[in-house]
Chains A and B, each alone.
Chain A
């Protein structure tokens, strides 16, 4: 079970939009619409931002949106704010009936 591939870091200025990509295979991302995204701040528990590719849990800002094309899932953060600075991890269900996380992307707000 290899981790899904994410860019190590992304940075942008407040107000800008960024897109974080997560690449897997046809056995995970490409095979199921079961991709989740988590925001992780140091010393805190991870927070679910998106589930089932594009669905936002109650209370999550609509500045966060998810999508998928083929074996790649994406998380877009629009109107970037200082409080969005965190590590973001994707997660997918797999054909082995397991789950796999991405390598994580550190988002820096300049």
Chain B
């Protein structure tokens, strides 16, 4: 079964750090680009970051650039999101997603999602 399982969420004070993990199983993790997406009641779905299959290409949303770091360990089939300098507005349900469709050296469409892990930034 193709599966993604996020973990690492929790309650953290403003300015603090948290590392999210996304464990992949049931597919060749090292062949796929991966995304982090977050959801808040007020904003809906918001794209956070993307990493390509070997980790050589990474992009971030402006709102997290310089504070969040995406990475992956293909030997462990795991995706990470290191979140530093957290703010109240980073509070959200964080999803990891597999990017399933590739052509022209680009990949689009998140065809597998985890159930999410909740991050709450509050004093």
Contacts and interface: CB of A to CB of B under 8 A. Distances in A.
Interface of A: 1, 3, 34, 36, 38, 40, 45-48, 51-52, 55, 57, 87, 89, 91, 93, 96-104
B109 interface: yes
Contacts of A103: 44
Contacts, number: 70
Nearest to A6: B44
B9 to A, nearest CB: 15
Q: Interface residues of B: mostly helix, strand, loop or mixed?
A: strand
B106 A93 contact: yes
A104 B50 CA distance: 21
Nearest to B116: A45
Contact of B61 (A36, A40, A98): A98
B110 interface: yes
Interface residues of B, number: 27
B47 A38 contact: no
B68 interface: no
A87 B47 contact: no
Tell me if A's interface is mostly helix, strand, loop or mixed: strand
B44 A100 contact: no
Nearest to A87: B44
A98 B44 contact: no
B118 to A, nearest CB: 12
Nearest to A36: B109
A99 B113 CA distance: 16
A104 B111 CA distance: 18
Contacts of A104: 44-45
Contacts of A98: 47, 50, 59-61
